[in-house]
Amino acid sequence: MAGENMIVLNENNYSEVTGTPDKLVLVDFWATWCGPCRAIGPILEKLAGEYPEQVVIGKLNVDENRALTESHGIQSIPTILLYKGGQIKDTLVGARQFADYKSVVDQYL
């Protein structure tokens, strides 16, 4: 993963990272076997590069973090949850184009 604002999330750091008060946090629920998940990886890296100071992108592997996945009601992947001020503000299900993710981020900045 590229950039300091791309973080691997797990049970230990999820609450701390998603509660970051001064940044938007996008959490990517994904799996290694998921083709669309792998397809949006470079898109999310590009997004992280566009907003190095304002946005954190967290990658959460659903196979390694089943409890978090279930507690957030994730039923299909990729799913992106957008947090602002520790609260979920938006949910994007399925692979999207860069412009779609950028538009949602711009809406909350």
**Among 10, 20, 31, 34, which one carries the catalytic annotation?**
34
**Among 6, 17, 26, 37, which one carries the catalytic annotation?**
37
In total, the chain counts a number of residues equal to: 109
Mean pLDDT score across all residues of the chain: 95
pLDDT in tens, 24-66: 999 999 999 999 999 999 999 999 999 999 999 999 999 999 9
- For the question of residue 11 being annotated catalytic, the response is no
Q: Is residue 93 part of a domain?
A: yes
CATH code of residue 51? 3.40.30.10
Q: Looking at residue 4, what is its pLDDT?
A: 77
Residue 1 has pLDDT above 50, yes or no: no
Element containing residue 101 per DSSP (H, E): helix 98-108
Q: Is residue 44 part of a domain?
A: yes
Which amino acid is present at 61?
A: N
Task: Please give the Cα distance from 92 to 55 (Å, whole number).
Answer: 16
- For the question of residue 34 being annotated catalytic, the response is yes
Q: Looking at residue 3, what is its pLDDT?
A: 62
- Average pLDDT for 81-105: 97
Q: Is residue 20 part of a domain?
A: yes
Q: Is the pTM of this model over 0.75?
A: yes
Q: Is residue 74 part of a domain?
A: yes
Q: Is residue 1 part of a domain?
A: no
Q: Is residue 79 part of a domain?
A: yes
Query: What's the total number of domains in the chain?
Result: 1
4: left (phi over 0), alpha (psi -120 to 50) or beta: alpha
pLDDT in tens, 6-28: 999 999 999 999 998 999 999 99
Q: Is residue 39 part of a domain?
A: yes
Domain span at residue 77 reads: 6-108
Task: Please give the Cα distance from 77 to 56 (Å, whole number).
Answer: 19
Q: Is residue 41 part of a domain?
A: yes
- Average pLDDT for 97-107: 97
